[in-house]
Amino acid sequence: MGKRDLGPEKDASGGVRRYKGALAKLTSALAIAMSLYQLLYVSAAFELLGVFIPQVVYLATSLCFVLVLIFLLFPMSKRASLDRLPLYDVVLIVLSMSGTGYVAYLWSSEEAFQYVYATTEGVILGLITAALVLEATRRMVGWVMPLIVLLFLLYTKFCNYFPGLFHGRGYALERMAGDLYIAGQGILGLPLAIAFTIVVAYIMFSQFLFQSGAGKFFIDLAYSLVGHVRGGPAKVAVIASAIFGTLSGSPVGNVASTGAITIPMMKGLGYKPHFAAAVEAVSSNGGQLMPPVMGAVIFIMCEFLGLPYWSVCVAAALPALLYFLAVFLMVDAEAVITGLRGLPRSELPSFKRTIRSGWYFFVPLFLLISLLGVARYAPERAAIYALVALLLVSMVRKQTRLGFGKICAALRDGGKAMLTVAITCAAAGLILGSLSITGLGIKLSSLLVHISRGSLPLLLVLAAFASFIMGMGVTVTACYIMLAILVAPALIELGVLPLAAHFFVLYWGLVSFITPPVAIAVFAASAIAGSDALRTGFTATRLGVVTYIIPFMFVYAPALLMKGSAGEVAITFVTSIVGCMALAAGLGGYLLIVKVNWVQRPLLLLASLLLLFPGWHSDLIGFGVLSTAMMLRWRQSSRH
């Protein structure tokens, strides 16, 4: 658990270069230097030292680190050599330093303020830098996002040739380079600023947490709590993935971390490989929805909505609990049906000994939550204080002490973990900048509303489909940014609560991680389990079915997002819990300790939909249908 895997979603080119000698030391040194530089900036250490660095200069130099590391570590294609650096990548590295260095120089000398239109050298370097960002993005996450960005850039340049709704004035390259390259509104815009201030602080915190041995502690703690119950290792996977997923910000990275332990344990207990992999994939995907951190998405959502962190965090709590409750119950049903027991207590870590060995790991986590929720500190500052607390409490035991070697390893792995987030945010900045220049975002929202003819149900279906398609093959952060820009405004235009609209697209974007044909979290889990990926994907779809339903509840029942009176929130949550239990029973064939047959299962599924749908009329009918199903079950058992 010490070293974090980069994960398949972070490498679309077919592998990571493994150097020896000087190049190996250089890549490690660059990753460590980038992490240190960013931590010093985020912690305001530079200001204490009397060094002022303009934000655009900081973003440009940080992006330089990212581009150089990507072209050093990730080859252009699957056929490229993994043990040497080709000349063309050396050229790309030099160009990366030139393109980012030019912007840093302009802003350092305050010359950037003079530019609305870029000079000739600005246009040339802007085109080169945009191309480098797209190539780096392709290497990390595949073709989908770079092609989308390229389409937006082409539209910005040639929108004067488009007809009707999409007609625009068209923009000269000098204007585009000035806005999207130099002025800090495109490549160096809001998404990248969030990545290099807030996200980097949490990635570093999570890396230091893993290096300290906290990963093993929390998994041992989960085993000591539920490892002995039926289907214990699968339930450990659900709990551990919820804990780690909220910090990792990557479903695939979460699968690689916890799945390497939980999937073999599930298989050893008797779970079929495809089911074990599906449990891990769905649980890891849900980690992106679990407060308090929710990966990087929650901080970006706060910026888009203009809401304080804690209000978004609180809104996410009840849906996340419903998500994991449904998964937990279906895992339990599978364990009962297949007769799987828990592990013997003799094979499990002792709860008391586990707590004694690592209780102090809760200190930085509680501090983080207190600073965010009670003291209302800025998210990045709270993470820095939690990191300092972790460094201090790790000194309690020799085994967990963060010495020089572990600190360097955390900085190195943290730097590498930032690569995917940073480069996709830079690419997303180009989309955001293009939309800002052309006003295309408003046009796209109007188009969706027009296609739906003002029907909210139809618009929700269109938005769900668009979110699912756009989420395929990209990272969670990139997926959400694109959807927040392109899809959420259409929902808001038809009267959907902005918070509900953004959670709707986030949930449906995450659907693509566990739903065939792409389902990259499923592919990562099936690779560990040695299972058929397609079968695993269909199983994951069943286990994660609540992901498809809850987003519609946001729209029609905002109380689920803590928007409403205490009574409305309580009633919505209780009926949703009962609905999730009925859904798990209908799909899994078992309700807690009672087996249900094929006659009762359709009734349970109908009851679950009625209970999950908001409104007291549907709730009353749902409880009636549920009572009918349970009465049939009681009559069946009384005959025997």
Residue 28 covered by a domain: yes
Q: What are the φ/ψ torsions at residue 590 (nearest 5 degrees)?
A: -150, 130
Rounded distance, CA 419 to CA 388, Å? 24
Q: Taking CA 378 as the corner, what is the angle to CA 377 and CA 379, rounded to the nearest 5 degrees?
A: 105
Task: Indicate the pLDDT class of residue 477, thresholds 50, 70 and 90.
Answer: confident
Rounded distance, CA 148 to CA 153, Å? 9
Residue 332 covered by a domain: no
Residue 94 covered by a domain: yes
Environment class of 638 (CB within 10 Å of its CB; exposed 0-12, middle 13-18, buried 19+): exposed
Q: What is the DSSP string of 68-116?
A: HHHHHHS-SSTTS-SSS--HHHHHHHHHHHHHHHHHHHHHHTTGGGG-S
pLDDT digits (tens, 9 = 90+) for 318-331: 999 999 888 888 88
- For residue 115, give Cα distances in angstroms to 77, 173, 430: 38, 13, 18
Residue 560 contacts residue 504 (beta carbons within 8 Å): no
Task: Indicate the pLDDT class of residue 110, thresholds 50, 70 and 90.
Answer: low
Lowest mean pLDDT among 59-73, 94-108, 284-298: 284-298
Residue 500 covered by a domain: no
Residue 591 covered by a domain: yes
Instruction: Tally the domains of the chain.
Output: 2
pLDDT of residue 593: 60
Environment class of 631 (CB within 10 Å of its CB; exposed 0-12, middle 13-18, buried 19+): exposed
Average pLDDT over residues 154-163: 94
Q: What b/e sequence results for 421-439 when a residue is b if at least 16 CB atoms lie within 10 Å of its CB, and e otherwise?
A: bbbbbbbbbbbbbbbbbbe
Lowest mean pLDDT among 222-226, 245-249, 501-505: 245-249
Residue 195 covered by a domain: no
Q: Where are the alpha helices (DSSP H) in 439-532?
A: 440-452, 456-471, 476-486, 488-493, 498-511, 520-529
pLDDT of residue 216: 82
pLDDT of residue 9: 43
Task: Indicate the pLDDT class of residue 111, thresholds 50, 70 and 90.
Answer: low
User: Would you say residue 530 has pLDDT above 60?
Assistant: yes
Residue 354 covered by a domain: no
User: Would you say residue 5 has pLDDT above 50?
Assistant: no
pLDDT digits (tens, 9 = 90+) for 279-316: 889 988 888 888 877 777 888 898 889 988 888 989 99
Q: Where are the alpha helices (DSSP H) in 109-162?
A: 120-141, 144-158
Task: Indicate the pLDDT class of residue 639, thresholds 50, 70 and 90.
Answer: low
pLDDT of residue 592: 61
Give this prediction's pTM. Answer: 0.82
pLDDT of residue 198: 86
Residue whose C-alpha is closest to residue 394's, from 213, 203, 217, 257: 213
Average pLDDT over residues 207-224: 86
Residue 258 contacts residue 233 (beta carbons within 8 Å): no
Quote the domain boundaries for residue 592. 575-640
In the block, residue with structure tokens 């709270």:
382
Three-class HEC string of 428-450: HHHHHHHHHHHCHHHHHHHHHHH
Residue whose C-alpha is closest to residue 142's, from 537, 545, 512, 503: 512
User: Would you say residue 99 has pLDDT above 90?
Assistant: yes
Percent over 70 (pLDDT), the chain? 94
Residue 600 covered by a domain: yes
Average pLDDT over residues 594-606: 82
